[in-house]
A and B are shown apart, each in its own frame.
Chain A
Amino acid sequence: MTRGTHLWIAQRVTAMILATAVVVHLITIILAVRGGLSAAEIIGRTRGSEAWLIFYAVFALAAGLHGAIGLRGIAAEWLGWRGRMFDAAWLVLGLLTATFGIRAALGLYAA
């Protein structure tokens, strides 16, 4: 399989994960903002919850990779940014984004 095929599969697999995760996230946001957001309410839901930790960690990893692959395609098409160096940069950006997201999820778990 070519690199393009791998990326296409990765983009679609992460899209399927995100389709579920974003629905859960949007419902959670809409419910959480009722009557105003509060740290106690958010942390009360997530503190010590392995289920929310796993959910947010998978969500962050899928979102980081999905976003980086999407940006790679747009940059190649609109700016002509192609090649291994750019691919490496997009991979670093995707993993770094995911790392920040997972760190935030760990913060919610351990708060």
Chain B
Amino acid sequence: MIEKSADRFTPSGLAALRRSGGWRPRSHPTYLAFLVHRLSGLALALFLPVHFWALSHAITGEAALEGFLRWTDNAFLKTSETALVILLAAHLAGGLRVLALEFLGWRAPQKTLVAASAGVSLAAGLLFLLNAG
């Protein structure tokens, strides 16, 4: 199977496809990187309006914010927060990879970039977990 791995808004579609990894088999690491970037972005974009809405209602003073923070003190929400930190770091790392490919022309070390993206996101999640305890 072949899958498109470039942004569909690129003005020069074929050139962008070539720069960002082009058409790759689904088993290729760059396809996995594309999929992680797409799915983490989707999750974050759906979460963001709810996150901002909740914060805009919670931050009406120190007591209200403290009450909101204590409400989030449970295992389910802590696990969700860790997952969101990992998703955010993964999307950031994947986005930096896309920007490097598109604007800096970093084509050769793509597998290294993919591995670095995964490393950055896992490290951020681990750091969050270690500190949140």
Contacts and interface: CB of A to CB of B under 8 A. Distances in A.
Contacts of B9: 4-5, 7-8, 11, 69, 73
B55 interface: yes
Nearest to A66: B45
A74 interface: yes
Interface stretch (B21-29, B61-69, B104-112): B61-69
B48 A63 contact: yes
B111 to A, nearest CB: 21
Contacts of A104: 52, 55-56, 58-59
B122 interface: no
A66 to B, nearest CB: 8
B45 A40 contact: no
Interface centre among B45, B56, B63, B128 (most CB of A within 10 A): B45
Contacts of A22: 88, 92
Contact of B56 (A29, A30, A31, A107): A107
The range of chain A's interface size is: 35 or more
B7 A11 contact: yes
Contact of B48 (A2, A40, A64): A64
Interface centre among B49, B53, B99 (most CB of A within 10 A): B49
Given A19-B99, A33-B128, A4 B65 contact: no
A98 to B, nearest CB: 8
B32 interface: no
Contacts of A70: 41-42, 45
Interface of B: 7-11, 38, 41-42, 44-46, 48-49, 52-53, 55-56, 58-63, 65-66, 69, 85, 88-89, 92, 95-96, 98-99, 102, 124, 127-128, 131-132
23 contacts: A4-B11, A8-B7, A11-B9, A12-B99, A15-B95, A16-B99, A19-B96, A22-B88, A38-B69, A43-B65, A64-B48, A64-B52, A67-B45, A67-B48, A70-B42, A70-B45, A71-B46, A73-B9, A97-B52, A100-B56, A101-B55, A103-B52, A111-B62
